[in-house]
Amino acid sequence: MIEINGQKWEARPDTRYKYDYKKIADNIASGKWPEIDNYRALILDDLWFIVRFVLKVPDRLSNHPFVVQACQDVENGPKDYTLDVWAREHFKSTIITIAETIQFSLKEPDEATGIFSYVRPVAKKFLGSIKTVFQNEKILAHCFPDIVWPDCEKQAPLWSLDEGLVLKRGTNRKEPNISAWGLVEGMPTGFHFGRRVYDDISTEDMAASPDMMDSVKTKFDSSQNLGTDTGHHRVIGTYYHHDDPLTFIRGKKAIGTGEPRYHYRFKPATDDGTSTGKPVMLSERRLDDLKGTRTFNCQQLLDPSPLSDMKLNPDLFLPIERRMIPKEVYRFMLIDQAGDLDSALKKTGGDPWAVGVVAVEPFSDDIGQSRVFLEDLWIEPSSESEAIDQIVRMYLKAGMIMKLGVEKVSTSTTHLHVASALRAHGRYVSWEPGANGVLLRPAGRNKKKMIESALGWPMGNGKIFYSTSCPTNYVERMKMEMRNFPVWHDDGINMLAYLYDILKEYIFGAAEEASEAEKRKRYQTKPAVRGWMSM
């Protein structure tokens, strides 16, 4: 048992430490080695020494093999473009955001560190912890009299959570040594940091707002302009959503090589990343308590959206080359008009229009499903006149359209304007019962349930395809809607779900194992005999 900076400590036999702290303490106690010089060297070179003896994290936590090894992982890994996604309560912020920031500031007193969180008050909490350490832990002032003020609050030029912390330095640069900022709220202007730390840029509340997640992603990219040519940055956090900012950052690729841009360190709460795995740090009892929470998968296993929990898995939205789509199909055109025409016109975040041309193979399999092929797609915010122009272009391009379905929103007359625009091009649509135009209505149904019930089964059975000739950006938009369902926009998938309302009017013949010629013959048979269409 030894004591350093008032902290009693004893080495664990199952842990590999960076240094022999007992030998160091004994030599200091005997007068063989100078105390200040040795402690200064340890603080500059050993993150775990800071965690245990400067931050004074209790021995039962900091002396755990996981924490000791995690400190060494950070020290031995790259310094720039790192993404650390660790389970909650596993010391990522303590080690990187707090301990390493203190260490960097002592190594490079003329440099500046900016701590960035989702909003500025969150970043200030990290800065507050650092501020307290510099004020209260006199070992820092004793070991670094050239850098740390004896009385920070009285002597430092700047010493507040709003303005940042300034240590003794040889320059008059405008950036404090350490300061706290927000991405969507409180981003600095005109500052450039040699070191940037992004911690808590994804939160549980944010996960319920895909629009806010998109905003953070944009702001994260924008904040790269706050760095320096020789600087570096780290990203730290815990997943809260399968499409949150951390997932976005993890997916970034290096220009030219296509390799992952960020060095990814992944530390779930169990040794195999499953709920039945052995805890890597927490006690079995603590982990069992957490298993009963709805955030266990995200915050402990770092699996924000298990496939079993996903309502509409975009991986089941299957690509197909245009030439592989069957020739014997009936085509439908579906229109989901913007619910908020004013914001759609101004393009201020309102619902976009979603228009699709869908081909249906007129045969069903043994589970009563026909293959569906999305042949053309357009999803954009626009004015009604712009949308109708786009609808006409797609209608004329598609060839023969069996049914044109237009969502009827309140008292809107969009369907009449669409019919008028098509009539100018020699195409006639009637909205009478049984005609080639149909008004699509929710009919009192819950929209989310309608979408899930319409698309869940055919997608799960490999029946919904999209043509690779569809514009990539609109296909990705559809996939994002599926991935984020039911908490994001649903314009495209709502449009596609309406197809199944229309198909209720039709009777599908069994596909069986017929030859192409037999299928063609059956396809041409009148509905009253064995057809699939009943008008």
Helix, strand, coil share of the chain (percent; to 5): 40, 20, 40
Pairing of strands 353-360, 330-336: antiparallel
Q: Are residues 256 and 318 in the same domain?
A: no
Lateral strand order in the sheet of 403-407: 318-320, 464-467, 372-380, 353-360, 330-336, 403-407, 437-440
Give the Cβ contact number of residue 98 at 10 Å. Answer: 25
Q: Write the CATH number for 199.
A: 3.40.50
In a domain, 307, yes or no: no
Judged by DSSP in three states, 465 sits in strand
Tokens of 373: 């092929």
In a domain, 289, yes or no: no
Q: Are residues 450 and 499 in the same domain?
A: yes
pLDDT tens readout for residues 351-371? 799 999 999 998 876 666 889
> How far is residue 89's CA from residue 94's CA, in Å, rounded to a whole number?
10
> How far is residue 84's CA from residue 344's CA, in Å, rounded to a whole number?
39
Q: Are residues 167 and 227 in the same domain?
A: yes
Q: Are residues 115 and 241 in the same domain?
A: yes
79 contacts 113 by C-beta, under 8 angstroms: no
pLDDT tens readout for residues 245-267? 998 999 999 988 889 999 999 99
> How far is residue 323's CA from residue 307's CA, in Å, rounded to a whole number?
31
Q: Are residues 190 and 146 in the same domain?
A: yes
Domain coverage including residue 334: 314-524
Q: Are residues 504 and 361 in the same domain?
A: yes
Beta strand residue intervals within 257-349, DSSP E:
263-267, 318-320, 330-336
Q: Are residues 435 and 504 in the same domain?
A: yes
Number of helical H runs and strand E runs in the chain: 22, 19
Q: Cis peptide before 65, with omega less than 30 degrees from 0?
A: no
Q: What is the pLDDT along the chain (535 residues), one digit of tens a residue?
A: 899 999 999 999 999 999 999 999 999 999 999 999 999 999 999 999 999 999 999 999 999 999 999 999 999 999 999 999 999 999 999 999 999 999 999 999 999 999 999 999 999 999 999 999 999 999 999 999 999 999 999 999 999 999 999 999 998 899 999 999 999 988 998 899 999 999 999 888 777 777 888 899 999 999 999 999 999 999 999 988 777 899 899 999 998 888 999 999 999 999 998 888 999 999 999 999 988 776 788 889 888 765 555 678 899 999 999 999 999 899 999 999 986 544 444 444 457 999 999 999 988 766 668 899 999 999 999 999 999 999 999 999 999 999 999 998 778 899 999 999 999 999 999 999 889 999 998 878 888 899 999 999 999 889 999 999 999 999 999 998 898 787 678 999 999 999 999 998 887 666 554 455 544 444 443 333 333 333 3
Q: Are residues 259 and 325 in the same domain?
A: no
- Element (H or E) spanning 344, and its range? helix 341-346
Task: Domain count for the chain, please give it.
Answer: 3
Tokens of 180: 């706290």
351 contacts 339 by C-beta, under 8 angstroms: yes
Q: Which of 267, 289, 305 is the last residue of a domain?
A: 267
C-alpha closest to that of 73 among 52, 56, 48: 48
Q: Which residues contact 457 (CB under 8 A, 6 or more apart)?
A: 369
Q: Are residues 57 and 26 in the same domain?
A: yes
CB hemisphere CA count around 338 (13 angstroms): 25
> How far is residue 119's CA from residue 140's CA, in Å, rounded to a whole number?
30
> How far is residue 317's CA from residue 482's CA, in Å, rounded to a whole number?
9
> How far is residue 504's CA from residue 201's CA, in Å, rounded to a whole number?
46
Burial letters 319-344, b for 16+ CB under 10 A, else e = ebeeeebeeebbbbbbbbbbbebeeb
In Å, how far from its chain's centre is CA 278?
27
Q: Are residues 399 and 510 in the same domain?
A: yes
Q: Are residues 330 and 454 in the same domain?
A: yes
In a domain, 171, yes or no: yes
Task: Report the interhelical angle of 21-29 vs 35-45 (nearest 10°).
Answer: 160
279 contacts 270 by C-beta, under 8 angstroms: yes
CB hemisphere CA count around 311 (13 angstroms): 19
490 contacts 451 by C-beta, under 8 angstroms: yes
In a domain, 274, yes or no: no
In a domain, 278, yes or no: no
C-alpha closest to that of 298 among 229, 175, 207, 176: 207
In a domain, 13, yes or no: yes
Q: Phi and psi (nearest 5°) for 356?
A: -140, 145
In a domain, 359, yes or no: yes
Q: Are residues 153 and 195 in the same domain?
A: yes
Q: How far is CA 166 from CA 54, 135, 174, in A?
A: 19, 12, 10
Q: Phi and psi (nearest 5°) for 357?
A: -110, 120
Tokens of 327: 């020739």
Q: How far is CA 535 from CA 348, 427, 465, 494, 526, in A?
A: 42, 20, 26, 24, 11
